[in-house]
Chains A and B, each alone.
Chain A
Amino acid sequence: MSWPALIVLVVGAYGLKAFGVLVLGRPDSTLGARLEPLTSLIPAALFAGLIAVQTVGGDETVVLDARVWGVAAGSVAVWRKAPFVVVVLIAMAVTAFVRWQT
């Protein structure tokens, strides 16, 4: 990767974050206040999307593999109110086990 490309990436990645905080999240923005009912739902929408993509996403395809079992097991742990670290470890263990078995 060339240095100029990397610098564009650095500037662009930060620019997007800064746009979110400084423009979309301006404290005195009436637009921000009016959009609050929508922005408060962003975590629900995006985190669910993120979980879906990370669980069944491949290289521009949908792949069902050992991750599905691991995330399902982790979800049961969340539902049973297991501590965070337990949720993560259960998901990893089940995924590793299913992968090893197949």
Chain B
Amino acid sequence: MSTHRREGFVLAAAVGIVGVTFGVLADAAGLSLAQVVVMSALVFTGASQFAAVSVVDTGGSGIAAVGSALLLAARNALYGPVVARLLPAAWIPRASSAQFVIDETTAMASVQETDDDARDAFWWTAIWLWSLWNVGSIGGALLGSVIGAPETWGLDAAFPAAFVALLAPHIRKRPGQAAAVVGAALAVVFTPIAPAGVPLLVAALAVIPGWLVGRREAAA
């Protein structure tokens, strides 16, 4: 198995276990099994799903749940231009591919050297991730509280650490370094003062300092 397929599987396996947590939480928040299945299969963007069920769990309205979930999902729109050239050109396959444009698939695709590898990495990650996320969520919803807290196993650090590995190729040059440093700083600064999801949208603005650094380098 090629490296990126194996890495896609590892990432998906960790996400699948997080999916179990999601299922447990959704069940506790009063979602039916059918709702968990629909959400994981069709919403398919983890952070948003967690946000929605935790708002419902704490007694928030459906509007509040959907609003906070969509704020977190908004960054997926920004991934579109990053992976667009890898997706099929025909309208219906292209529109269907969009369902799989999320953090993990964009990241695995964006660290490959060639477009062929990037396409392969995108789809294998998508297949593994979608399958294991759904199996995990259903398992969690059915098993409920039998499983202990995933924090005990340090799973909450698995995702950010995986993304350090996926960030590494993007910060080899100065513009990427500038974008990453400013992006992380903006996300941290906005975390205590803005609703979840907003800090990452603000972080996206860090492409501007990155671009300015690149332009100054080109001019020098």
Question: Across the interface, which residues of A come within 8 angstroms of B177, CB to CB?
Answer: 44
- The interface bits of chain B over 150-177 (1 if a CB of A lies within 8 angstroms of the residue's CB, else 0) are 0111111111111111111011000111
Number of inter-chain CB pairs below 8 Å: 314
The reply to whether B81 and A45 form a contact with Cβ atoms under 8 Å apart is no
Whether B31 lies near A1 (C-beta < 8 A) is yes
Whether the Cβ atoms of A8 and B210 lie closer than 8 Å is no
Assembly CA distance A16 to B67 (angstroms): 13
Q: Could you say which residues of chain B place their CB within 8 Å of the CB of A85?
A: 6-7, 10
Q: Are A41 and B80 in contact (CB under 8 A)?
A: no
Q: Which residue of chain B has the shortest Cβ distance to A31 in the bound complex?
A: B81
| B154 touching A56, Cβ below 8 Å | no
B167 in complex: contacting residue of A51, A61, A97, CB < 8 Å: A51
State in angstroms the CA–CA spacing of A6 and B49 once bound together. 10
Q: Is B28 an interface residue (CB 8 A)?
A: no
B188 CB-CB contact with A under 8 Å: yes
Query: A45 → chain B, closest Cβ, in Å?
Result: 4
CB of B180 within 8 A of CB of A99, answer no
Q: Which residue of B lies closest to A85 (CB)?
A: B10
Contacts of B70 in A (CB 8 A): 9, 12-13, 16
Closest chain B CB from A90 CB (angstroms): 7
Chain B residue at minimum C-beta to C-beta distance from A98: B154
Most buried by A among B29, B63, B81: B81
Question: How extensive is the interface on chain A, given as a class?
Answer: 35 or more
Distance in angstroms between the alpha carbons of A25 and B164 in the assembled complex? 26
**B98 and A17: CB pair below 8 A?**
yes
Complex Cα distance, B70 from A24, in Å, reads 18
Cα A49 to Cα B82 in complex, Å, equals 17
A84 near B98 with CB under 8 A, answer no
The reply to whether the CB of B142 lies closer than 8 angstroms to some CB of chain A is no
- Nearest Cβ on chain A to B101's Cβ, whole angstroms: 5
**Chain A neighbourhood of B196, CB < 8 A:** 57, 60
Contact partners of A39 in chain B: CB under 8 A = 78, 81-82, 207
CA distance A36 to B99 in the complex (A): 22
Tell whether, in the assembled complex, residue A48 and residue B203 are in contact, meaning their CB atoms are under 8 Å apart.
yes
Residues of chain B touching chain A, judged by Cβ–Cβ distance below 8 Å, are 6-7, 10-11, 14, 29-31, 35, 38-39, 42-45, 48, 52-53, 56, 62-63, 65-66, 69-70, 73-85, 87, 89, 94-95, 97-99, 101-103, 106-107, 110, 151-168, 170-171, 175-177, 179-188, 191-192, 194-196, 199-200, 203-208, 210-211, 214
